[in-house]
A and B are shown apart, each in its own frame.
Chain A
Amino acid sequence: MPNSPERPRRITLVRNGPVLVEGPVEVTGDDGEVWVSDRFTVALCTCRRSRRYPWCDTSHRRPTGQTHTGESRSATRTQRHDGGDDR
């Protein structure tokens, strides 16, 4: 069982992406606000751009410009990809 005392809860750090935490979770904010999810895993936003904060909504994905030369697209491609980077 993910949350049994015999085994610690697994948290996965995604470079340039969210933090994955095995659920269920209760997340508390600075102002005492509480968010609850019983999903098997949750993705917590770390870029602070999510419109569904504290949950990730994939807003961390770097937007690419639609250029005719395709420069920004290819730049994005070459920056990936070791499998652990989300951009």
Chain B
Amino acid sequence: MTTVTDPPLPRPRGPLSAAVIARLRTERGRLPPDGAIRRADPYGADLQTALYVLYELHYRGFEGVDDGLEWEAELLAVRRPLEERFLAALRADAPQTGLRDTLAALLAEPVADTGTDVSRYLDHHGGLDQLREYAALRSLYHLKEADPHAWALPRLRGRAKAGLAAIEFDEFGAGRAEDIHAQLFADLMTDLGLETGYGHYVDLAPSEALATVNLMSLLGLHRRLRGALVGHFATVEITSPPAARRLTEAMRRTRAGPAAERFYAEHVVADAVHEQVVRREVIGGLLHDEPGLEPEVAFGIHATAQVEDRLARHLLGAWQAGRGALREALPPAV
């Protein structure tokens, strides 16, 4: 019998996150004023850390932090300008391409390696060090894989709800705890000699990685952003199979281990089904019910591509220069 322990609070990365984390720890102290939030870099480490901490209250919380703070009015009041700053930047940076062309572009698989694709880099050049770094920073999502999208269920109906629920059932192991995708990822981490604790690597994650996780929480926690959440989910499922195939190869080539291979091999076949269901049933059903949400679905795809591109540039920039991509080097494999 193991007892699940709550994750520790992350370390602050600037005045905004320091104020938020101090409030959670002590339940006292001033929260950041609106003016400071409006001047903060929307993609920067400080704002992203503050948002990450506030969002985690809705998932697993933190050790030593009162669960009741999830709905504490002052914390919600400071979360709002933080997420509005992030959302405004995402909207300003998103192209105005319509949904049809946006989906078509996602489905187009480039022949050549353009040098901007992390899975291609890892497939061709990745060593175990890079694969371990990649798994450590992706663990912030994969250890809660598909959780943010479950928030869409009560906000959908008909085909969209049935399709999303079917995919989520698959993501959550189809009734078998050992097959929950988050568990498959924990098994991958064990193969790679990484700690499997939820949120364990948050302090090592670059701000670009925090932004990918915060985007899902932002879209998941606001009903008004349900169209964008569906767009996010579609992006994940559509782009997953080719990338997962390359990562399966990378795990095989580096002899990372059977569970490491299995995680990505499972995603090749599972997500080839999911992407069909998400396009036909979830997007199709949602837009049948609420055709006005079409631009929001496209925005969700653009926003996802944008935060993923920023992460890819960070990772490839570091690895191609022979550096590690995390804020501190990982301890050697345990």
Write the nearest CB–CB distance from A16 to chain B, whole angstroms. Answer: 10
Chain B minimum-CB-distance residue to A57: B268
How distant is the Cα of A66 from the Cα of B103 in the complex, in angstroms?
18
Check B273–A41 contact: CB distance below 8 A.
Answer: yes
B residues 104-130 with Cβ under 8 Å of A? 104-105, 107-112, 114
- Does B204 sit at the interface, judged by CB under 8 A? no
Report the interface size for chain A: residues with CB under 8 A from the other chain: 31
Report the interface size for chain B: residues with CB under 8 A from the other chain: 30
Across the interface, B111 reaches (CB within 8 A) one of A56, A58, A65, namely A65
CB-CB < 8 A to A66: which residues of B?
A: 110-112, 114
CB-CB < 8 A to B277: which residues of A?
A: 20, 41
**Are A64 and B110 also in contact (CB < 8 A) when A41-B273, A58-B275 are?**
yes
Check B103–A81 contact: CB distance below 8 A.
Answer: yes
Chain B at the A interface: SS class: helix
Hey, what's the 0/1 contact readout for B86-116 against A, CB within 8 Å counting as 1? 0000000000000011011101111110100
CB-CB < 8 A to A51: which residues of B?
A: 245
CB-CB < 8 A to A83: which residues of B?
A: 279-280, 284
Chain B minimum-CB-distance residue to A87: B107
CB-CB < 8 A to B241: which residues of A?
A: 57-58
How distant is the Cα of A33 from the Cα of B114 in the complex, in angstroms?
39
Check B276–A14 contact: CB distance below 8 A.
Answer: yes
A residues 41-68 with Cβ under 8 Å of B? 41-43, 51-52, 55-58, 61-66
How distant is the Cα of A81 from the Cα of B107 in the complex, in angstroms?
11
Write the nearest CB–CB distance from A84 to chain B, whole angstroms. Answer: 9
CB-CB < 8 A to B107: which residues of A?
A: 61, 80, 86-87
Query: Interface-forming stretch among B166-174, B300-308, B320-328?
Result: B166-174
Write the nearest CB–CB distance from A13 to chain B, whole angstroms. Answer: 11
CB-CB < 8 A to A41: which residues of B?
A: 166, 273, 276-277
Check B105–A18 contact: CB distance below 8 A.
Answer: no
CB-CB < 8 A to A3: which residues of B?
A: none
Chain B minimum-CB-distance residue to A65: B111
Check A63–B110 contact: CB distance below 8 A.
Answer: yes
CB-CB < 8 A to B104: which residues of A?
A: 76-77, 80-81
**Are A58 and B273 also in contact (CB < 8 A) when A39-B174, A40-B169, A64-B110 are?**
no
**Are A40 and B170 also in contact (CB < 8 A) when A55-B272, A57-B268, A81-B103 are?**
yes
How distant is the Cα of A23 from the Cα of B204 in the complex, in angstroms?
41
Across the interface, A65 reaches (CB within 8 A) one of B103, B112, B270, B275, namely B112
Chain B minimum-CB-distance residue to A40: B166
- Does B150 sit at the interface, judged by CB under 8 A? no
Check A18–B272 contact: CB distance below 8 A.
Answer: yes
Hey, what's the 0/1 contact readout for B147-180 against A, CB within 8 Å counting as 1? 0000000000000000000100110001000000
- Does B333 sit at the interface, judged by CB under 8 A? no
Write the nearest CB–CB distance from B251 to chain A, whole angstroms. Answer: 15
How distant is the Cα of A40 from the Cα of B169 in the complex, in angstroms?
9
CB-CB < 8 A to B170: which residues of A?
A: 39-40
B residues 59-96 with Cβ under 8 Å of A? none
CB-CB < 8 A to B276: which residues of A?
A: 12, 14, 17-18, 20, 41, 43
CB-CB < 8 A to A56: which residues of B?
A: 269, 272-273
| Residues of chain A having any CB pair with chain B under 8 Å | 12, 14, 17-18, 20, 38-43, 51-52, 55-58, 61-66, 73, 76-77, 80-81, 83, 86-87
The 6 A-B residue pairs with the shortest CB-CB distance in the complex, in nearest-first order: A58-B241, A66-B112, A63-B111, A80-B104, A56-B272, A64-B108
Known: A61-B242, A76-B104, A80-B103; 8 extra A-B contacts, CB below 8 A, are A17-B276, A39-B170, A40-B174, A52-B269, A58-B109, A61-B109, A66-B111, A77-B101
